[in-house]
Chains A and B, each alone.
Chain A
Amino acid sequence: MKKPKTYKILLAGNPNTGKSTLFNILTDRHQHTGNYPGVTVQRTAGTTRLPNGTRIQWIDLPGAYGLHPRSKDEEPVLHEILGSEGPYHGIIVTATPLHLKRNLLLLSQLADLDVPLMLVITMCDELDRKGIRIDTRTLENELGIPVVLFSAKDPDCHGGGTENIIRRLPDMMRSRPKHFFGNYGIDTRAFKLFRQRHPDENPYRLWLIYTEQDKLPPSILLRYPDLPPKDKEKNIVEQRVRYETIRRHADLDRLVKRVLQRDLRQGHDPSTRLDRLLLHRVLGPVIFALVMLLMFQAVFAWAQVPMHLIDAVFGRLADWLHRSLPAGEIRSLLADGIVPGIGGVLIFVPQIAVLFFFIALLEESGYMSRAVVLTDKLLRPFGLSGKSVVPLLSATACAVPAIMGARTIDDRKRRLITMLVTPFVSCSARLPVYALIVAMVVPAKTYAGGLINLQGLVMAGLYALGFAAALGSAWILNKGMHSPYDGYFLLEMPPYRLPYFRNLWTKVWHNVRLFITGAGKYIMAFSVLIWFLANHGGKEFHEGPPPASPAEAAAWRLEHSYLGRAGKLMEPAIRPLGWDWKIGIGVLTSFAARETFVSTMATIYAAGNEEDASLIQRLRTAVHSRTGMPLFTLASGLSLLIFYVLAMQCFSTLAVLRRETGSWLWPSAAFAYMTGLAYVAVWVTYVVVNQLLAVSF
């Protein structure tokens, strides 16, 4: 057979073994992320081109402890290894010196499948520091596969660069891994029959297909029409799988004792001492609160500098286009549609980058899992897991990556609840809306000598309301969803490590790109759509306004545009809330992305104003189109704010919910529930605030 020019190699390994770090280095930036069919686990692929022209395609499999999946998200590893995504040429398994025995469990299972293998012992810079010696030669002989040392932080130690991995690839292809499973004598009645019917097939492959048949895709099952059902001996099978695991541990224990020498003079594990401090009854929560405070400070204050810069640059650009191009459709499209649209996407990049930098820092340092342990008990009554903290916190940037972040939750019910309530958390897209309306209707009063600011208090209140709505809804969902299987909590807490810069950068870049290509394209497209709807209309619109002053003409044009008509159409529904059709338009357009409310308001009120007033000034002088009273009062402003906290108005969020839950059922339910709740809450707010104001004056 002719040698294929592209080799496909899978990377497998336990969580926290530096697998993704190795993947990032091997593939540099040539990565591509997709999804496994049916589930929501990311499948990351990347390529390396060797000097001789050979291409290697690497697949970064999700972290796994073994091949028997025990949650939905662990299934893709088994699927891919059994060939569901097509054939491959070999598997590289990562392991760390400190946890070699446990890391080799997965390798021993793969060895039984007769797959070409290579073992990469990562973090080999830890060997000398921890006084560990590994006899790789003996390990190679015992396993029958190449064993390579690797270090991302110090490629010079023990020759631990990627070139060694590349150099040993031919050895890997030729490797004949030694078997484990055959010695265990594991059998059941049905499995014995199945095995006898396929004498030429690998027995461990058959064992996996038999024991995990309820978790395999049709593409694999169809090849075994004679597969006996395991229902009758379900308990026996479960026992045998556990027995298999225990036997492997025993074998690996003997092996590791032969090849790994440890200097026992090493003192107590420093991570344990740090855990005693960071999980301390009093200090633990205090430190956690400080870390979170720092994160919020960074996202909402430090990111302001680049945000203002982006804002200014795109404002100037639009001005410049207005001045230098001849009036007409093209200028209008560029200066009022496209340029503000691009600016409206990029303005969020600083916040997202800073937030994900912090999340990556927390994950890489090992603190994230401690934060999860600290908060798990608190969140469990709400049907959330300690792991829900990550999505709920990252939702302050954007619900889209946050909902995807819920994948780390093993328990399906908790994961679903987390995903459904995450959109209540105030995301960064709501922030511009909050900022605009708060600045407009809340007086800029300060108390305690300028320390406390009333506008800031209202802002904090909006965030608190979002979190309260999320927790309250989670509590209700938890009561409503009966699940006989109450998920256990099991989390490996990686040792504290100095974060590796490259991984931080990759994570930040990955999420920024996700935002720009994911949510960004909707915002952009919508900006242009809004521009079109506001600048075009039916026949009447094109006949032009009756003779009047320029400002009146502009107002007439807006009212008769497609946008104006849509807003008017929905006015009866929003009149009880104190809003008029212009706000109606703003709320409608927010469905693409909430922050477009601000740009819509800018478009609507730019159309009516020739002078150079700021948006806030223009909005302050706006009057209700029916009553002629000021449009933005405390009552209507607060009602609008509460609407933006509670309502589901984000198409991207619905789309990602659809993808993650596998049907339109949950996104539809979330939309109906959130928007219904918002409408009622807003109406109550408007009526109550108006009554209170009427009493106090």
Chain B
Amino acid sequence: MNLSELQEGERAVVEACGSDIPLKLTEMGLMQGQTVEMIKRAPLGDPLVFRLDGTTVAIDRKTAEGIRVRPLNGSRKGAVQRQKSGV
């Protein structure tokens, strides 16, 4: 799944970044193996706010979709909800 699919409060580990993600994001520390936490979706659904290495960063949805993540088990009810709905 990708970064934009995380539920609010859910944490995940970055597995791979698309080759076209902004370099600035890499400079901020978003890279393979890094843990991220989804904090909040903006009221209109975009951008998305993440916690990354002690910093809060807002990223537009499209960019977030280019980042593959593996959710950390039990980090939140979001994962449970997803299992229930069979996604």
Binding site for B on A (CB under 8 A): 65-66, 68, 70, 98-99, 101-102, 105, 238-239, 241-242, 245-246, 249, 269, 271-272, 275-276, 279-282, 284-285, 369, 372-374, 376-378, 386, 488-495
Question: Within the complex, which residue of B31, B40, B46, B57 is in contact with A490, where a contact is CB–CB below 8 Å?
Answer: B57
Nearest 9 pairs of A and B residues by beta carbon: A489-B60, A377-B44, A65-B27, A493-B56, A279-B40, A66-B27, A491-B58, A373-B58, A377-B46
Given contacts A276-B8, A490-B60, A494-B56, 5 further A-B contacts (CB under 8 A): A105-B27, A373-B47, A488-B22, A492-B28, A493-B58
Counted as pairs of residues, one from A and one from B, with CB atoms less than 8 Å apart, the total is 111
A102 to B52 Cα, complex, angstroms: 11
**CA of A249 to CA of B42, assembled, Å:** 29
Q: Would you give the 0/1 interface string for B59-77, flagging 1 where the beta carbon is closer than 8 Å to chain A?
A: 1101100000000000000
Cβ-defined contact, A249 with B31, below 8 A = yes
* A282 partner residues in chain B, CB cutoff 8 A: 43
Chain B interface (Cβ within 8 Å of chain A)? 8, 19, 22-29, 31, 39-40, 42-47, 49, 51, 53-60, 62-63
Give which listed residue, B25, B45, B51, B58, contacts A272 with CB less than 8 A: B51
Instruction: Check A245–B53 contact: CB distance below 8 A.
Output: no
Residue from A98, A272, A488, A490 in contact with B39 in the complex, judged by beta carbons closer than 8 Å:
A272
Which of B29, B39, B42, B58 touches A102 (beta carbons < 8 Å)?
B29
- 8 A-B interface contacts by CB (under 8 A): A65-B27, A66-B27, A246-B31, A272-B39, A488-B63, A489-B63, A491-B57, A493-B55
In-complex Cβ contact of A280 among B23, B25, B43 (8 A): B43
Across the interface, which residues of B come within 8 angstroms of A369, CB to CB? 58
B29 pairs with A66, CB closer than 8 A: no
**Residues of B with C-beta under 8 A to A492:** 28, 55-57
Known: A272-B51, A492-B55, A495-B56. A284 touches B43 (CB 8 A): yes
Contact (Cβ within 8 A) B43 A102:
no
B58, A377: Cβ atoms closer than 8 Å:
no
Residues of A near B8 (CB, < 8 A) are: 276
Question: Which residues of chain A are near B24, meaning CB under 8 Å?
Answer: 65-66, 70, 490
* Contact present for B43 and A279 (CB under 8 Å): yes
A378 to B44, CA, bound (A): 8
Q: Does the CB pair A281–B59 fall under 8 Å?
A: no
Q: Inside 8 A of B43's CB, which chain A residues have their CB?
A: 279-282, 284-285, 374
Q: In the complex, are the beta carbons of A276 and B39 less than 8 A apart?
A: yes
**Complex Cα spacing A249 to B30, Å:** 10
**Complex contacts, A376 vs chain B, CB 8 Å:** 42, 46-47, 58, 60
- Set of chain B residues within 8 Å of A280, measured between Cβ atoms: 40, 43
Determine if B23 and A242 form an interchain contact, defined as CB atoms under 8 angstroms apart.
yes
Q: What residues of B have a CB within 8 angstroms of the CB of A494 in the complex?
A: 56
In the assembled complex, the CB of A390 is this many whole angstroms from the nearest CB of chain B, namely 15
Q: How far is the CB of B43 from chain A (nearest CB, A)?
A: 5
Q: In the complex, A101→B54 CA distance in Å? A: 10
Q: Is the CB of A377 within 8 A of B54?
A: no
By the criterion CB–CB under 8 Å, are B62 and A488 in contact?
A: yes
Q: Which residue of A lies closest to B48 (CB)?
A: A373
Known: A66-B23, A279-B49, A488-B62. A377 touches B56 (CB 8 A): no
- Complex formed: what's the CA distance from A249 to B53 in Å? 11
The interface residues of chain A lying within 8 Å CB-to-CB of B60 are 376, 488-490
A70-B24, A489-B47 given as contacts; is B29 within 8 A of A101 (CB)? yes
Complex Cα distance, B27 from A386, in Å, reads 22
Task: Considering the complex, give the chain B residue whose CB is closest to the CB of A69.
Answer: B23
| CB-CB nearest in chain A for B44 | A377
Contacts of A98 on B, CB cut-off 8 Å? 54
Contact A490 B25 (CB under 8 A): yes
Question: Cβ of B23 and Cβ of A68 under 8 Å apart?
Answer: yes
A369 to B47, CA, bound (A): 12
Give Cα A242 to B60, complex, Å: 20
Q: How far is the CB of A474 from chain B (nearest CB, A)?
A: 18
A299 to chain B, nearest CB (A): 26
User: What's the Cα separation between A350 and B55 when bound, in Å?
Assistant: 37
What's the minimum C-beta distance from B37 to chain A, rounded to whole angstroms? 8
Instruction: Give A277's nearest chain B residue, CB to CB.
Output: B40
**Within 8 Å CB of A242, what residues of B?**
23, 26
Nearest B residue to A369 by beta-carbon distance? B58
A99/B63 in contact, CB under 8 A: no
A-chain residues with CB within 8 Å of residue B56 when the two chains form the complex: 271-272, 275, 492-495
Across the interface, A489 reaches (CB within 8 A) one of B27, B51, B53, B58, namely B58
CB of A281 to closest CB in B, whole Å: 5
A279 touches B22 (CB 8 A): no
